[in-house]
A and B are shown apart, each in its own frame.
Chain A
Amino acid sequence: MSSRHIISLLMENESGALSRVAGLFSARAYNIESLTVAPTEDATLSRMTIVTVGSEDVIEQIIKQLNKLVDVVKVLDLTEGSHIERELMLVKVRAAGKEREELKRMADIFRGRIIDVADLTYTIELTGTGTKLDAFLEAIDQGAILETVRTGASGIGRGDRILKV
């Protein structure tokens, strides 16, 4: 039985660190749905969020293999406890005439913001879980979508579930 897991990890902010993780996933044929990485408040550390799909055994191996990488400081499977997941999406839509009102309304319903307005287009910024972003794309007129860009999920534990060195 495969399920979706969000794995958070802290690693040394060294050159090549990202390729060690990416290489591990491809060498061992693990899935990557998305991967995001950026330095933390401590500039020597990077935080990475990896969304992957696998059976319990595979996820256990993924976590062990990640821990084995010499640059990795800590690994946490966020999906093992309560957590928050967010992804940012920018969507450029064709917005002319009547469509402008409708798109504005949809953006409001999904708590998106229009961050760029041009004669014939809107660019809408939306954050939420991946499912919410998918739902927005389904809700608007498919033909209106000109371009989308998504960051992939970032995650954090709820309450006192903290990933720190």
Chain B
Amino acid sequence: MELTGAEIVTRCLAEEGVEFVFGYPGGAVLNIYDEIFKQNKFKHVLVRHEQAAVHAADAFARASGKVGVALVTSGPGATNAVTGIATAYMDSIPVVIISGQVPTAAIGLDAFQEVDAVGITRPCVKHNFLVKDVGELASTIKKAFHIAATGRPGPVLVDIPKDVTFHKTEFAYPDSVSMRSYNPVLKGHSGQIKKAAQMLLEARRPMIYTGGGVILGNASEQVTELARLLHYPVTNTLMGLGGYPASDRQFLGMLGMHGTYEANMAMQHCDVLLAVGARFDDRVIGNPAHFAREQRRIVHIDVDPSSISKRVKVDVPIVGDVRQVLDELLKLFKASKETPDEAALNTWWTQIELWRSRNCLKYNRESEIIKPQFVVEKLWEVTGGDAFVTSDVGQHQMWAAQFYKFDKPRRWLNSGGLGTMGVGLPYAMGAQLAHPEATIACITGESSIQMCIQELSTCKQYRLPVKIINLNNRYMGMVRQWQEFFYGSRYAESYMESLPDFVRLAESYGHVGMRIDKPEDVEGALKEAFSPALKERLVFMDFQTDQTENVYPMVEGGKGLSEMILAEEL
């Protein structure tokens, strides 16, 4: 039977097992919306801004491991989506974005709501397509899902001109995709894996450093088993949190610009480093020249060859699916008669414990003003460490990463690569839809939350009972911190004047609002918000926090990992 392009779109999405499409209608996609109206295979979630559509689809993918889907119209719909697409791209999140386009005959004529969506998004997608012929629509959508989800994942945009959505063709959804130009390497080189095993066993000061690739590659079980087997210390990047249980003794905390003293020192001073699904980026190792000062041998496992030896030269590169490669490594260790040098390892752990005893995350617990760290600690307690936590970008993001101990993967959703303020609330929506029964907490700041605040309305419509923890310091705190440290405390445009009354704002959207001013009320408020009585409600908690608090430790831009500024030194 012949179907229209619009019918084909909805049929393809159904074939892919899509549960939710996050979108916003407009002229170029009305045929598709008409088909959405007629079907019941997947639900459409109407956001209030296309940026949030892509963020929510991205969060759905992060929290579930499936491909997220967003649908936007041509022109402003597509341009509004770009921030979301770039955010997903920087963190390698599998999302398929379908955008409407003006009819093929009008392309290039500056038609109403025309933009070159393929051109605009080219540098921030894994791949994109303009479908000019309805005959290629189904196979293109199939390819889009395949490319988004395999290898190093990423967003794929499919731009569909309006005429293609009403042209008809025979529909057949391909079972599989074969592309001569795209075949990611999944199986690691066995010789390299052997070399890696040997090198790791010879370590005297070993370190395991894992990133977002372990989360995306579903390899946290393998990382955990390997670390426990060898009794080696582990650190995670901001994107990698949850890759190893954070409440375990072998975990040294996050590393990098706001990493712990012990993680950064161990990273700098180890003699053999196992890097898994991580990319040695500037926020992680600081100045690469300083990092290279210490002699160490590096094993690097990653599915993307271009991530290897990009900023730091490595000794044993292994290209492959991190889970498969770690399975192979584990087999070798289990079969091996050799074990790590126990005496050397003990000495190394003694050193690490000494670093740990600096207690680099300490803060003033006697404060009469609410300390943001205290709120996150209490949140962890009240939620039993088992919530899905999203954050925006700024100081609150770092405190969330430092103080909420993630024991499981896919529980921590934030924009690590692009650092996009505004993701917090749409991320919470995507996570809640992926896990309807789970507890979802959005840790945000009063500046970030205002960048996608309109989504409170979406939350009302779809009854998404997310809990918003607003660490309200009346400043763009992270900007203020940099201005304090590096610009002589000249706080140019970083103070948030004329803030709304968040309690009444939340209420006007039909939600519950709370304002918390004193440290002694923090726990009670959290307990109430997360109580069964409010289980079905969105609760907006506006915590009035200390305006002067800074994030420590801190590695200044361009400095080395071991050159941290610590709280006590100030």
Contact = CB atoms under 8 A, between A and B. Distances in A.
Contacts, number: 36
A19 B119 contact: yes
Contact of A73 (B126, B130, B147, B181): B181
A42 B182 CA distance: 18
B119 A27 contact: no
Interface stretch (B305-313, B329-337, B388-396, B413-421): B305-313
Contact of B306 (A12, A20, A68): A68
Given A15-B130, A19-B122, A27-B123, A72 B306 contact: no
Interface centre among A12, A57, A64, A70, by most chain B C-beta atoms within 10 angstroms, is A70
A73 B123 contact: no
A15 B107 CA distance: 14
A142 B266 CA distance: 64
Contacts of B182: 70
Interface centre among B118, B180, B304, by most chain A C-beta atoms within 10 angstroms, is B180
B497 to A, nearest CB: 37
B142 to A, nearest CB: 14
Contacts of A11: 181
Contacts of A64: 305-306
Nearest to A65: B306
A128 B12 CA distance: 52
Contacts of A12: 181
Contacts of B179: 70
A98 B179 CA distance: 61
Interface residues of B, number: 17
Contacts of A165: 180
Nearest to B183: A73
Interface string A1-38: 00000000001100110011001000100000000000
A57 B127 contact: no
A141 interface: no
A67 interface: yes
Nearest to B304: A68
A23 B123 contact: yes
A16 B126 contact: no
Contacts of B130: 15-16
A71 B69 CA distance: 23
A60 interface: yes
A55 interface: no
A49 B123 CA distance: 22
A61 interface: yes
Interface in B254-313: 304-306, 309-310
A61 B304 contact: no
Contacts of B122: 16, 19-20, 23
A71 B306 contact: no
A14 to B, nearest CB: 9
Contacts of B310: 61
Interface of A: 11-12, 15-16, 19-20, 23, 27, 57, 60-61, 64-65, 67-68, 70-73, 165
Given A64-B305, A65-B306, 18 more contacts: A15-B130, A16-B130, A19-B119, A27-B123, A61-B306, A61-B310, A64-B306, A67-B305, A67-B306, A68-B305, A68-B306, A70-B126, A70-B127, A70-B179, A70-B182, A71-B181, A73-B181, A165-B180
Interface of B: 118-119, 122-123, 126-127, 130, 147, 179-182, 304-306, 309-310
19 contacts: A15-B130, A16-B118, A16-B122, A19-B122, A20-B122, A27-B123, A57-B309, A60-B309, A61-B310, A64-B305, A64-B306, A67-B305, A68-B304, A68-B305, A70-B126, A70-B127, A70-B147, A70-B179, A73-B181
